[in-house]
Amino acid sequence: MSAATFHVLIPARLASSRLPNKPLADIAGIPMVVRVAQRALQSQAASVVVAADDAAIIEACERHGVRALLTRRDHPSGSDRLAEACTLLGLDGDTCVVNVQGDEPLIEPSLIDACAALLAERSDCVMSTVAHTIDDAAELTNPNVVKVVLDAQSRALYFSRSPLPWWRDGYAAGITQLSDPRPLRHIGLYAYRAGFLRRFPGLPPSPLEILESLEQLRVLWHGERIAVHVSDLQPGPGIDTPADLARVRTLFG
């Protein structure tokens, strides 16, 4: 896929209940959101832009040569923030936009490229995302690990925090081993066509989305399709808590 075919947008919100001022958290002398943008700039994206809700994030990005724009503070989700960013940037409806989470300073650039390339190939889907196989039974039972099941065309059938799929015979006495084929862990990396991304905030939330607290279920609920790239690569650790931040800091020396 050529560098001119997709753009990376990174949503960044200053408020965080578990880690205050998370986008500005210092990682070896550089704010976390800047670290994320630096990784994204190693992909084939035509541009990388941080969509922020606070001037402090804008200033931090500009100090490090990262492009950033100010969006409203009241967006309920990162997707809503990026929808506004698409409008502010004047992106054409067919333009591919990759949503890279602002708390993934170790995101693999090749995963960004693969996610964008998949959407370009799949005219039957409005979004694409990424998954990898689960090799640890503890991950299957962890509600913080989102699972996904696919159809024959590698489109998402469902996402869940519960063990998915349920191996009737193998799990009858408890989950101590994994099925073959292996279950899939969903990676929170998304590519959208800008036109759909702008339309997304107007779609009513689905009951399943509310129950599972998984925004991507709104897409499936309304009859749209999400293509899934199954990768051999496992992403680096994201940052949600002070403990996560401490662990990632050690990786940057």
Q: Which residue is listed with tokens 């947008």? A: 9
Tell me: the pLDDT tens digits for 6-30?
999 999 998 877 788 999 999 999 9
More confident position, 198 or 20: 198
Percentage of residues in the chain with pLDDT exceeding 70?
Answer: 98
What letter would DSSP give residue 183? P
Token pair of 52, please?
């922020």
Compute the half-sphere exposure of residue 79: CA atoms within 13 Å on the CB side of its CA.
24
Helix residue ranges per DSSP H, 164-241: 194-199, 207-212, 216-221
Helix residue ranges per DSSP H, 29-179: 32-40, 55-63, 78-89, 109-121, 137-141
Query: What is the predicted pLDDT for the residue at 18?
Result: 75
Tell me: the pLDDT tens digits for 116-174?
999 999 999 999 999 999 999 999 999 989 999 999 999 999 999 999 999 999 999 89
Burial class (CB in 10 A: 0-12, 13-18, 19+), 30: middle
Query: What is the predicted pLDDT for the residue at 237?
Result: 79
Tell me: the pLDDT tens digits for 31-47?
999 999 999 999 999 99
Strand, helix or coil at 226?
A: strand
Tell me: the pLDDT tens digits for 243-253?
889 999 998 86
- Which stretch of 69-73, 77-81, 204-208, 216-220 has the lowest confidence by average pLDDT? 77-81
Tell me: the pLDDT tens digits for 71-127?
999 998 889 999 999 999 999 999 999 999 999 999 999 999 999 999 999 999 999
Q: Which residue is listed with tokens 């905030």? A: 201
Query: What is the predicted pLDDT for the residue at 15?
Result: 81
Tell me which residue of 8, 24, 9, 7 sits closest to 239, measured CA to CA. Answer: 24
User: Which run of H or E residues covers position 12?
Assistant: strand 6-12
Query: What is the predicted pLDDT for the residue at 234?
Result: 80
pTM over the 0.85 mark? yes
Tell me which residue of 156, 154, 152, 149 sits closest to 179, measured CA to CA. Answer: 149
Give every CB contact of residue 141 below 8 A, 6+ residues apart in sequence.
Answer: 163, 175
Query: What is the predicted pLDDT for the residue at 89?
Result: 95
Strand, helix or coil at 138?
A: helix
More confident position, 253 or 1: 253
Amino acid at 238: G
Query: What is the predicted pLDDT for the residue at 157?
Result: 98
The dihedral through the CA atoms of 34, 133, 152, 219 has a sign that is negative
pLDDT band at 2 (very low <50, low <70, confident <90, very high): very low
Query: What is the predicted pLDDT for the residue at 253?
Result: 67
Number of H helices, E strands in the chain: 9, 11
Domains, the chain: 3-238 (3.90.550.10)
CB 47 within 8 A of CB 112: no
Mean of the per-residue pLDDT values of the chain:
93
Tell me which residue of 116, 7, 134 sits closest to 69, measured CA to CA. Answer: 7
Amino acid at 115: C
Helix residue ranges per DSSP H, the chain: 32-40, 55-63, 78-89, 109-121, 137-141, 194-199, 207-212, 216-221, 242-251
